[in-house]
Every structure is written in structure tokens, then in C-alpha cells.
Chain A
Amino acid sequence: MQRLLLGLVTLVVVSIIIFTAVNLLPGDFAQAILGQGATEEAIAGIREQLGLNQSPVTRYFQWLSGVLQGDLGVPLSQAMMQSFSGASTGGNVITVAEQIGPRLSNTLFLAGVSAAIAVPLSITLGVLTALYRNTAFDKAMNISTLSAISSPEFFLAYILILFLAVLNPIFPSLSNIFPGMEFSERLNKTMLPALTLTLAVTAQMMRMTRAALINLLAAPYIEMARLKGLSPMRVIVKHALPNAMAPIITVVALNLAYLVTGVVVVEVVFVYPGIGQLFVDSVKTRDIPVVQACCLIFAAVYILLNLTADILSILSNPRLRHPK
């Protein structure tokens, strides 16, 4: 409970930081939208209409009170559109929540697919590298995953496009998924971005698994198990792995959070209609309500996953589950 409250406080602090940061960017929505037509009167007119001429503090609290009532507001672009068209567009205004909703579910789908590949893969690799540590296999795995994590994501993305879309057309290079698409096709289109993200997160999870296991392998009870004559595989999976769960869960949770929040570049490269792309578009036009809402979601994902990780590591540790 206390942790949840702390999480909420963190969210508020994050929102203040984001709000200040966006306000520090040069130019504002009025200038961004008007471009060449940005005469002083036009800018003043738009600022007045959208309430941008009020002080940042006032605007922040207006926004905060809206959020507390579950209202994320209306994107400035939509508010603008309404004033542009005069009376006759009536009730067709899209709210921030409506705009983000489908994008967020797309991003979660991508994160889900990536996690479904990355988590089993990296834990298996972690176990195998621990088992065959310091062999050629171990070294090869370490080198390849570390080089993957050291390359920028857009580079990985283009490499994958080159090998899996251009030279061997296995997967489409364009991930333009849309509602009503069949699941298999959706999965096919999501594959390349998911693989890119997999490459970006595997190293950390694999190496953490490996390190935690190797650490435990020196423990006396493992030596006992080995002396009993158990096979090395059984020693690791049955005896070492359960005790290594806590650090593994933490690192998995952190990486899952990254899968949601770190997708910006990958989404842009693959034209994946997720929240990352929306975020980039909104920053470009200084559409503060949308930027704020995206940040809030990113922060909430981090806090919730961390919380889940903590709870799960407590559950996985009998000592913590049954305190004396």
C-alpha cells in the first residue's frame, strides 16, 4: 500500500518534470502549427483560444485536476481543428484517451510478442551459458548478445530489414497493422520490430541469469547436489534456478518496461502505429496534453512493473515469504 502511494507521488513528480521540460522547448504549439503563417496576431489568437497564454502553473493544475477526474483532455491539434472549422464539425472531437487507446494496445501487442520471444530465449540461453560456462558456446553467445545490445536500435532494425526483408523476403519491412487484421498476418507484420526489440533486451536478461546462476553454483548445497551424482542440467534447473529467481524477475521486469517505453525508434523505423510514434508526432507539434499522457503511461508502466517484480521476488523467496 505504502509502495502504491509512493508510486503515485513519483507519477506526480514525473508529470511536473515533463511539463517543465516541454515548456522549456523553444517554440510552442501555435508556432509549430502555423509555420509560415505564424504572424504575431495569428499566434496570439491561437494561444488565446487554447488557453496557452495562461501561466504554466495554471495550465499544469488545470491538467492535473482533469487527470484526477480521469479526463486526459483534448489534444491541442483537435481543439485547434474545431476552432478552424467553425461551427459545423460539432461533436467529432477526439479526446487524448481516444487517440492513445488503440495506439497503446498496439504497443502492448508488440511488447507482448517481443517478450514472448525474448524472455524464454534469454533465460534458456542464460541457463545454457551457465552450464557450459567459459566454453566456446558461452563466449559466442556473450559476444553476439553484447554486440546486439551495443548497437543502436535503428541500426539493428536496418540490418534485420536487409537480411530478412530485402535479401530474403521472409518478413515484411512495413509493420502497418490495423484493426480487423487477422491474427496470423498481424503477427507476421509485427515480427521484425519484435525481433529488433528482442535483440535489444536479450543480453541483459541472459547475462543476469547467467551471473546469478554461476554465483549460486559455488554454494555448498549445490556442491552437495553434485556430489549426490545429479546431472549438471538437473542441478541447475532444479536446485540453482529457484534460488536465482529474484534477480532474474527484477531484470525481466525492467526489460519488459523497456519494451513498452523504449519502442519509439523501432516504431518509427517500421511504421508501427504504436504509442511511440504518436509521442514523436506530438512532441514535434508541442501537443502538450498528448505528450503528458504518454509520459504518464510510460512512468506508470515502469512503476507498476517494478512493483510487480518486488512482489514476485518476495513470493519466490521462502525466507521473505515466511519472516520469523
Chain B
Amino acid sequence: MSQFSRRNLLKTGVAAGVLAATGLPVRAQAKRGGRLRLGLAGANTSDSWDGRTHSDTFMIAGAHGCVFDCLTEVAADGTLKGELAESWEATADAKTWTFKLRQGVTFHNGKAFGADDVMESLNMHTEEGAKSAAQPIVSAITEMKKLGEHEVQFTLAAGNADFPFLLSDYHILMYPAGQIEEAIAKGIGTGLYSVESFDPGVRFVGKRVDSHYKDGSAGWFDEVEFIAINDASARMNALMTNQVDVVNRVDFKTEALMKANPMVNIFEVTGNQHYTFPMQVAVEPFNDMNVRRALKHAINRDELVQKILQGHGRVANDHPIGPANQYFAGDLEQNSYDLDKVKFYLKEAGLTSLDVNLSAANAAFAGAIDAAQLYQASAAGAGININVVQEPDDGYWSNVWLKKPWCACYWSGRATEDWMFSTAYETGVPWNDTGWEQARFQELLLSARAELDSAKRREMYTEMQMIMSTEGGTVIPMYANYVDAHSTKLTNTGEIGNVFQLDSSRLAERWWFA
């Protein structure tokens, strides 16, 4: 029971069977009412309503999922739909995009939403001195033109077919033009819930706005209350004693107790979050593709999923594209644990045994040292001697990652293939942690970016995933699930988004009290 994404169910062709087995109604009747209480990890005293700074669950679910809206939204089934944008179209080179905006939308302070708000909200990310995580997305826009009160045209430096998808990013929230400072201070957006009170790192209360353009399709609670509970035991306890209705990041240690409680239901989805062991392909011995292939077959992925993730994950195939991506190639040949293949590739490399250092610290991901030791044990049988170097947690990202030839690392994944590849695998980018450079891969990356034909893009991205899986510099053993839990008083459509925790952070919009 790992995932209810329609896309995946249909792909595996067992939709009817699974739905019958789990007894989920295909479409339940939603109803209004009640106060939703969430106990969340990921709150900080430095939190604010400034979307540019958001990086953790509390604010992402609070801003992106309650108070503010974006231009576009990734629906629970993984498709892209308009949020504040009604429709959009591109020129053939994917360079010029025209967005038609929704009419009759107002901010919580009464101001009408229009083209100026879009332009000013986007400009926030490229403002002098601003360090927004969405800066690369917005800086690709060379020109913004207001075609009418509810129509905006963007011209990009280079064609990008994913542009509308990128605008669904949780950093790119829509603020009222001319009042951005006030909107950040008070939390004034166009979302389903307006801010009643907000105490950074402690609590947020939102009240359902009286009339909203999503009426009848989302926003079923009268009120939402977010309570910051960073301590895992306290969070689980709060759900078990009915102090909250939903918690995020289930503590695997107490999972059995939660499962025994009939009032609590654990729900999890496999998203794009993945753990990696990047090898620097310019450094001996990783410069030999056969060595890399040997190492990819020397890791027991199933064991890692069972022991490090306690089963809350899925085996990955050495490429960074996950099940929440549009063009995820789930049917590639799986790199499996196979000592004969390891010996074969070692022989191809002209070696009989191999000694390598693997640097790890739990700062890379929870259980990274254990994972490295399991890797060591599984590889030993084929003459590969992995020496696990335990690094200190503090300073791991500045002293070990990108510095040591082989280390442990994690990626939360990106919403689009292009974004993921161009963050960490494009030639010359600063976070290219394997120093990956390959002509065919780079060529595909650039042409897929500007290609609007979905079928052709699927072909290209599939080939790229294949190249990474066989030749690439990183060992990616597994995807880690997002595991949350809720009270059985709550219910949903049966389809849970897998872009992020808590139904892609939109639980307060999409769920309701049964």
C-alpha cells in the first residue's frame, strides 16, 4: 500500500484490483466543516510569509498549501492544472509563453488580482541581493509584458517546455503588487485560508475565506491550526492522544504502536526524494566506467530499503528521476545485486580486487553510516574492499560533499526532469557532485528542454535515465517515502500527491472530515 497515484495505478494495470482490495472509494463526497489540527516538524523561529525563504514543511504547507496560491498547481494525480492562471500557450520554440489569468480573484485584503501582481511577485526573486531558491527559474525570463489586466507574456532566454510546471514551485507565490512588504508581514495571499494568527516556530491559525474560486472543489475545513512539534515522540504522542489530526514524518521506532491504534492511519507516498553515493568520475578509480558498473551491482538495494528505511521506500536505479516526475522511466532494466556481474566488470577494468574509501556521516541522510557499512558487507563477497570513513556531521556539506571522491548524499528531487538534471548533472554546474560530463547526455538535456512534444520528450528523458543508470557516476540505491499519519476522522479522494509530504503540502485544501 505504498501509493495511490492514478498514473501509477493505470500504468501497472492493476487499478481496479488495488482499489477493490483497499476498499477506497474512487470519488467520495466531500463536505465542509471542522477545525483541522496539524502537528508538524519543520518549523523554525525564523519562519516568515516570504516564499523565497521557505524550505521546510511548516511554512510550505502553511503558505503554498493554505494562504497563498501559485500560477499553476500539480494535481494529486501528477498532472499540471491552472491555479491562478486559467490557461497558457507557447510559441513553437517554447520561448514565448502567454498566460491568461483567472478573473474575479481577490487577495485577503480585498485587492483584485491581476497581471501586475504576477509581474511584481516574480520580480521579487531576482531583486538585487535576494537569495531565492527560485532565482534560476525566474532569471531565465528576459521579458515580462502585460497584455491586459488578466494576460501576461513571458519571453525566456532559451526555450523551456517545463516553464508552466516550474511556476508551480512553492517559492513562487503570488503577492499583491505594491503591498508586498505588508503581505509578507501579515500573510496576505489569495489562498483558501486567511491568516488569523501566526507565531513563527510555534503556531499558525488560518480561517477559511468566505467565498473563493476553489469553492466546491477544495478547501473543506472552516479553520486550520498548525502546531510546531519538532520533537518526534511528542508529535506521535499528540496524534495518539487526539491532540492533533495529522502529523508529518512518522517516527519509525513507534510505527508499530501507531499501527495498533485503530484511530490512526499511516499514509505514505514514494516521491522524488532519493539517497545517493556520488563518485567523482574524473578521479581514479571511478574514471573507469567498468568500476562504476561493478559498484552499482555490488550494493544490495532491497536490504537497504528494508534496514535503513524500514521498508518505507523503493529501490532506485541509479538515476535521479523519481516516481513523482512526469517522465519517470520505471521500466528500465534494474541494476541488481549480482556478484557475478561485479566480478565481470572488475575483470573488464583489468582488476581482480578493488580498494575504495567511502565517506559517510548521518548528516547526509538518516542512517547513512549504516547504509555504507551494509554496502561494505555486500561488496566484500566480490573482492571489493570498501573502507567506510566516518566523517563528522558538522561541516559535512562544506568539507566532504563535492570534495571527497566518493561519499554519501541525498537529494529531495525536483519537480521536473530538466530541473533535476540541470541542478546536479549538467556539464559544469556547481552542484555536479560526480563531475558528470557526457556529450550525448548534454545534447539530449538541451534539446529536451525546448521540445514541446510530450512523446518526444518522454523518449529523450528515458534515454537520459538509461545513460545515467548504466554509465553515470552516482549510485542511487533507493527512494525514501514521505510517511505521514492522520486520524481516521479525516478522509480524502483516495489520491494522494507525491511531490511533497502531506499530499504535496495541500492536505488542508484537499482533505475533509468524514
Give residues in A with beta carbon < 8 Å to B: 25-27, 31, 34-40, 43, 75, 77-78, 80-81, 83-90, 92, 94, 99, 102, 158, 161, 165-166, 169, 172-174, 176, 178-180, 268-271, 273, 278, 281-282, 285
Residues of A within 8 A of B230 (CB): 281
Rounded to whole Å, the gap between the CB of A144 and the closest CB of chain B is 25
Residues of B within 8 A of A38 (CB): 395, 397-398
Are the C-beta atoms of A269 and B202 separated by less than 8 Å?
A: no
Are the C-beta atoms of B185 and A271 separated by less than 8 Å?
A: no
Are the C-beta atoms of A90 and B181 separated by less than 8 Å?
A: yes
Residues of B within 8 A of A36 (CB): 397, 401, 409-410
Residues of B within 8 A of A87 (CB): 127-129
Are the C-beta atoms of A84 and B397 separated by less than 8 Å?
A: no
Are the C-beta atoms of A88 and B228 separated by less than 8 Å?
A: no
* Interface assignment of B201: CB less than 8 Å from any CB of chain A: yes
Q: How far is the CA of A271 from the CA of B397 in the complex (A)?
A: 30
Residues of A within 8 A of B402 (CB): 39
Are the C-beta atoms of A89 and B181 separated by less than 8 Å?
A: yes
Residues of B within 8 A of A269 (CB): 231, 233-234
Are the C-beta atoms of A174 and B395 separated by less than 8 Å?
A: no
The SS class assigned to the B binding surface is loop
Contacts A87-B127, A176-B227 given; does A37 touch B241 at CB 8 Å: no
Residues of B in contact with A, size category: 35 or more
* Interface assignment of B282: CB less than 8 Å from any CB of chain A: no
Are the C-beta atoms of B397 and A34 separated by less than 8 Å?
A: yes
Are the C-beta atoms of A75 and B46 separated by less than 8 Å?
A: yes
Are the C-beta atoms of B227 and A271 separated by less than 8 Å?
A: yes
Residues of A within 8 A of B430 (CB): 39
Are the C-beta atoms of B184 and A77 separated by less than 8 Å?
A: no
* Interface assignment of B81: CB less than 8 Å from any CB of chain A: no
A81 touches which of B48, B132, B185, B227 (Cβ 8 Å) = B48
Closest to B53 in A: A84
Q: Which of A75, A173, A180 counts the most B-chain CB atoms under 10 A from its CB?
A: A173
Among all A-B residue pairs, the 9 with the closest Cβ atoms: A27-B394, A77-B46, A86-B130, A86-B129, A174-B243, A26-B394, A38-B398, A38-B397, A86-B127
Are the C-beta atoms of A84 and B52 separated by less than 8 Å?
A: yes
A268 touches which of B199, B234, B238, B398 (Cβ 8 Å) = B234
* Interface assignment of B164: CB less than 8 Å from any CB of chain A: no
* Interface assignment of B240: CB less than 8 Å from any CB of chain A: yes
B238 touches which of A86, A173, A180 (Cβ 8 Å) = A173
Closest to A78 in B: B46
Are the C-beta atoms of A173 and B237 separated by less than 8 Å?
A: yes
Q: How far is the CA of A285 from the CA of B56 in the complex (A)?
A: 15
Q: A26-B392, A84-B131, A169-B242 are in contact. List 12 more A-B contacts (CB 8 A).
A: A25-B394, A38-B395, A38-B397, A40-B398, A80-B46, A83-B131, A89-B184, A89-B185, A92-B185, A174-B243, A271-B234, A278-B45
Q: How far is the CA of A185 from the CA of B341 in the complex (A)?
A: 66
Closest to B123 in A: A88
Are the C-beta atoms of A27 and B395 separated by less than 8 Å?
A: yes
Are the C-beta atoms of B398 and A173 separated by less than 8 Å?
A: no
30 A-B contacts, Cβ less than 8 Å apart? A31-B394, A34-B398, A36-B409, A37-B397, A38-B395, A40-B398, A43-B398, A75-B46, A78-B46, A86-B129, A87-B127, A87-B129, A88-B124, A89-B50, A158-B233, A161-B237, A169-B241, A173-B234, A173-B238, A173-B243, A174-B227, A176-B227, A178-B202, A180-B197, A269-B231, A269-B233, A271-B234, A278-B45, A281-B45, A281-B201
Residues of A within 8 A of B124 (CB): 86, 88
Contacts A26-B392, A174-B243 given; does A99 touch B398 at CB 8 Å: no
Residues of A within 8 A of B229 (CB): 174, 271
* Interface assignment of B203: CB less than 8 Å from any CB of chain A: yes
* Interface assignment of B44: CB less than 8 Å from any CB of chain A: yes
Q: How far is the CA of A21 from the CA of B318 in the complex (A)?
A: 43
Are the C-beta atoms of A77 and B45 separated by less than 8 Å?
A: yes
Residues of A within 8 A of B281 (CB): none
